Chain A
Amino acid sequence: MAFFLETLFGGLMAGMLYSLVALGFVLIFKASGVFNFAQGAMVLVAALCMARFSEWIPLWTGLQSKFLSNMLAFAVSVAFMFVLAWLIERLVLRHLVNQEGVTLLMATLGITYFIDGLGQTIFGSDIYKIDVGMPKDPMFILDSIFEGGVLINQEDVIAAVVAAVLVAALSLFFQKTGTGRALRAVADDHQAAQSIGIPLNRIWVIVWCVAGITALVAGIIWGSKLGVQFSLTTVALRALPVIILGGLTSVPGAIIGGLIIGVGEKLSEVYLGPMVGGGIEIWFAYMLALVFLLFRPQGLFGEKIIDRV
């Protein structure tokens, strides 16, 4: 039982991290109808930027305080993601308005190649560390109920809290601010939003910035867990089943979907994996999402698909 709970908690934490990446996808898809394959590359480049600047800033300025240099690096990374978002809107999306979904998808794949190349040219392509002072020690909970307690990672708990805070902040931003309202209007109907004077281009820049910041947060958390390296981009592929499970247009869907996928992955790996030779995590998530789609094609919380001729 304790082992089961341990796996379950591990899955929930992993799921929270998937949700973070999935959030970026959902935000952009909602606001611009672009299925952004570059989200993984954005996670990588944001993490690279953060890692390198937190290394460079003390070298350049002689800052001693780790906290301060991390904060500065964070600010620089945010600025970097802003510039990136602005450039993407300016140079790519603006020219591809009204194209088919698949063309936009391919364009974001092109952006993926570009960002991968750019990030590694500027920041180097080794494995880097991000150290934002997250505690790494495992801890035991519930040891009054089970013998030996249940082992969980403090790091994971913090990551989950950060993710929860980010989600709360995002939903506040979407529900309570004027910009958030404009974003929701654009998500509903591009033309109607434009006709009441919402500037589409600016909204897109904003939404790509927000997605960039979620990418940065995801990158910092994943990066401090696994090290910042090229394989971070595959995180995006792990997050895809999350969004089709949760629904492409739903923020809560990304969270719940992430949790389901995370738990499903871990449980299947532990309990089914040994039977078939292991390593089933990645395709199991997709199969889970696929089977789910057969019953509910729009995902858990997606908008109902209505076919009209």
Chain B
Amino acid sequence: MFYRENGQFKTSYRADQQIFAIAQDRWAILVLIAFAALGVPFLADEYLFRAILIPFLILSLAALGVNILVGYCGQISLGSGAFMAVGAYMAYNTYIRVEGMPLIVALLSGGFFATLVGMFFGIPSLRVKGLYLAVATLAAQFFCDWAFLRVGWFTNNNASGSVSVSNLSVLGWNIDTPLQKYWFCLGFLVVFGLLAKNLVRSAIGREWMAIRDMDVAAAVIGIRPVYAKLSAFAVSAFIVGVAGALWGFVHLGAWEPAAFSIDRSFQLLFMVIIGGMGSIMGSFFGAAFIVVLPIFLNQFLPALGALAGVEISTATVAHAEAMIFGALIVWFLIVEPHGLAKLWSIGKQKLRLWPFPH
């Protein structure tokens, strides 16, 4: 009743091509962003910022990047953790090696180097596809794990491979408190989210989707697979790299290569699959699900044990967590293989017809 486009006439091409064609969507997004920027700080405490909100923002940025590659271009990648690591370490190197380097430029340069690495490891995608490619991208993961641990230059010759940054500030504005970090990440996420949304609606986004749906057919109608695939790798690695830099600089502060291990790659892929492949919105849903679920299980299981009068040891909790996490993932894949974004779009469709479904 309230959610339909009746009476909203488009009188220009500009109006016809805007991102959110329905006025209600536009307002909802604006309200959501305003709430995230101004409302959430009043509601959340420090724990919530540190444990959930900041990781959620950064990982949704990373999931967005992975979704461009996996969801839009159809190239399965298990090396996203490596691109995050490249972003983090190269941003660190730019930041400490160049005197007076502005923070944002350092973060973006992390993304730039991740792009280079991403394109290099994207080269096999020109020859191999599907699961072969997935395994091939693991090469990026293991190579980067090794390089950041063993090559001293990346970590400023720190033996354990751990590095740290402090006193972050942008244009004289310090980023110390969780709230400031939250705003900083939110800013990045909004800008990149809009850019990504626009990119996938543009010519190049359509090329990616054509490649995903059937690459031979796409090549036949004149889409260059080399260009489309490598550009998807580049864009994806850039976003993932920036997310990695944020993860290191803003969320962790001090990190080592293990922070970007293969588990991180799997986690990002889970976000994309559970959120919904080929959907910008899905990246956010997936990130929220994967970030919140382990924390929830961690809090909930001991409470449940206490309720039943059983003392559960930490090891058992950890194992039970893994079991429930795995089982939920499988269950989720079975009931909704197209992800949360599919549920979202079904809901929207129904809402448009409501209350007269016929």
Seen from chain A, the residues whose Cβ lies within 8 Å of a Cβ on chain B are 35, 91-92, 95-96, 99-103, 105-107, 109-118, 120-121, 125, 237, 240-241, 243-244, 248, 276-280, 282-283, 286-287, 289-290, 293-294, 297-299, 305, 307-309
Contact = CB atoms under 8 A, between A and B. Distances in A.
28 contacts: A96-B334, A101-B76, A106-B273, A107-B329, A107-B334, A109-B329, A110-B327, A112-B326, A117-B319, A117-B322, A117-B324, A117-B325, A120-B319, A244-B132, A248-B131, A276-B150, A278-B150, A279-B149, A286-B139, A287-B143, A289-B139, A290-B136, A290-B139, A293-B124, A293-B127, A305-B129, A308-B216, A309-B217
Nearest to B262: A237
A111 B333 CA distance: 12
B330 interface: yes
A191 to B, nearest CB: 20
A278 B151 CA distance: 10
A92 B329 CA distance: 11
A116 B326 CA distance: 9
B214 interface: yes
Most chain B beta carbons < 10 A, residue from A117, A248, A308: A117
Q: Chain A contact residues: over half helix, strand or loop, or mixed?
A: helix
B304 to A, nearest CB: 15
A114 B331 CA distance: 12
A309 B70 contact: no
Interface string B133-153: 011101100110110011100
A286 B216 contact: no
B130 interface: yes
Contact of A297 (B128, B145, B220): B128
B3 to A, nearest CB: 31
Nearest to A35: B131
A121 B273 contact: no
A114 B146 contact: no
Contact of A237 (B138, B269, B330): B138
A165 B321 CA distance: 39
Nearest to B269: A106
Given A92-B330, A99-B337, A240 B138 contact: yes
Nearest to A116: B322
A107 B327 CA distance: 9
Nearest to A118: B323
A120 B322 CA distance: 10
B216 A114 contact: no
A18 B216 CA distance: 35
B329 A110 contact: yes
Interface string B304-328: 0000000000011001111111111
Contacts of B325: 110, 113, 117
Given A99-B337, A244-B132, A293-B132, A114 B323 contact: yes
Given A92-B334, A113-B322, A117-B319, A279 B127 contact: no
Contacts, number: 143
Contacts of A100: 337
A288 B215 CA distance: 26
Contacts of B344: none
A102 B323 contact: no
A287 B277 CA distance: 28
Contacts of B130: 101
A109 B76 CA distance: 14
A283 B214 CA distance: 31
A109 B214 CA distance: 26
Interface residues on B, range: 35 or more
B270 interface: yes
Given A279-B146, A282-B142, A283-B142, A289 B70 contact: no
A42 to B, nearest CB: 13
A106 B320 CA distance: 19
A102 B67 CA distance: 13
Given A95-B334, A102-B273, A287-B143, A294 B124 contact: yes
A276 to B, nearest CB: 7
Contact of A309 (B76, B214, B273, B326): B214
Contacts of A277: 150-151
A113 B136 contact: no
Contacts of A120: 315, 319
B289 interface: no
B153 to A, nearest CB: 11
Contacts of A96: 333-334, 337
A274 to B, nearest CB: 12
A195 to B, nearest CB: 25
Contacts of B139: 283, 286-287, 289-290
Contact of B135 (A95, A110, A241): A241
A34 B326 CA distance: 17
A263 B337 CA distance: 41
Given A277-B150, A293-B136, A286 B131 contact: no
A262 to B, nearest CB: 17
B322 A114 contact: yes
A248 B132 contact: yes
A240 B269 CA distance: 18
Contacts of A95: 334
A72 B127 CA distance: 49
A118 B273 CA distance: 24
Contacts of B138: 237, 240, 286
Given A117-B324, A282-B146, A297-B132, 10 more contacts: A95-B334, A110-B330, A114-B327, A117-B321, A117-B326, A240-B138, A286-B143, A293-B124, A297-B128, A309-B214
Contacts of B262: 237
A115 B145 CA distance: 26
Contacts of A92: 330, 334
For the complex of A and B, the 4 pairs showing the least CB-CB separation, nearest first, are A113-B326, A114-B326, A117-B323, A110-B329
Nearest to A102: B76
